Amino acid sequence: MVSLILILITSLFFMGVVVKTKSLCSGRKGPGLFQPMWDIFRLWKKSSVFSKETSFIFRISPIIYISSVLTAILMIPHGGIPGVISFDGDFVMFAYLLACGRFMAIISALDTGSSFEGMGASREALFSLFAEPAFFVLMGSLALFTGHTSFHDLFSTLHYEDNISYMLGALATFVFVMIAMIENSRMPVDDPKTHLELTMIHEVMILDNSGFNLGTILYTTNLKFAMYGAIISNFFIGALPLSVSIPLFFAVQFCFAVSAGIIESFMARFRMSHNPQFILILTSVSMLIFFGVLMVKGVFI
C-alpha cells in the first residue's frame, strides 16, 4: 500500500517535471509542475464525444486501460514492504496486465475504423512485442541472481557485492528507463508533440478520444511513468527504513523525470524503420546482464 500511495503522489507531478526540464533545456520558463494534471482535471470535467462508427469497446477501453495499470501497480513493493498483491512469479502477471491494457488500447484504435489509428495500433503492437523479451530476460536474470521470483523478495534481497554487481544494477536501470520510454511512446521511439499522422504511434491511436476518456488515457501515461520509476527506485532502496526510503524514492523519481526530459530535449526521434533495431538492442543488454549474473554465480569462470 505504501508503494501505491507514493506512485499516486508521484503521478501528480511527474509529467510536470518532464515538461519543465524540456522547457529549461530550450531556454524557456515553461509551465508549472502541476499544469499537466490541471489539464487532465479539465478534461475529466468534460463529457466525451463518440463517433457513430465506434462500438462499446471504444467507450470502455480507457477504463480497462487504467484499471490494468493500477492493478499492476499493486504488485510493486517499496523496499522491504511488499505490494498489495505479492506471490512467486508475480512479475509475469505484472507484464501481462500491462499487455491487457495495451491490447484494449489497440483494439479501441482499430474500432474507430480509421486507417491512421490502425497504423498507429500496428506500430504499438510491434514495438511492445519487441520490448517484452528485454523485460523477461532482465527479470529472469534478477531472479537467478537473488533466488526469488516475486517483486518483493527479489528487491528486498538484492544486494551488490562487487563491481560486476554494480554494473548489472546500472544496466538494469538503463533497460527499465528505456522500456518506460517505449511503453509510453516517448523519445527516441516516438515524439508525443508531433502532429504528422504518418509518423505518430500512441498519439494517433487516441485521436478520436475526448473529454473524460482522453483525460483518463493521459493520466494512465503519468501512472505508467511513476510505476516504472518505482521499480527503478527499488534497486536503490533495499531494506532501508521508511524515513530514508521515502525521500530516496522521490529523489529517484525526480531524477528519472529529469532524465526523460533531457532525453526528449537532446535526442532526435529515430526513423520508423530503426525503432525495432533500437528496441532489440535492449534485449541484447538484458542478455549481457544475464551473462553477468552467471559470472557472479560462478557458472562462468
pLDDT tens figures, 99-122? 999 999 999 988 888 888 888 888
Q: What is the pLDDT of residue 198?
A: 62
Strands (DSSP E) along 176-301, which ranges? none
Whether residue 301 lies inside any domain: the answer is no
In this prediction, the residues of the chain whose per-residue pLDDT falls under 50 are none
Domain span at residue 172 reads 2-296
Whether residue 53 lies inside any domain: the answer is yes
Residue (of 53, 292, 14) closest to 180 by Cα position:
14
Whether residue 182 lies inside any domain: the answer is yes
Whether residue 51 lies inside any domain: the answer is yes
Number of domains in the chain: 1
Phi, psi of 81 (to 5 degrees): -100, 120
Whether residue 277 lies inside any domain: the answer is yes
Whether residue 40 lies inside any domain: the answer is yes
Residue (of 299, 283, 281, 280) closest to 291 by Cα position:
299
CB 207 within 8 A of CB 116: yes
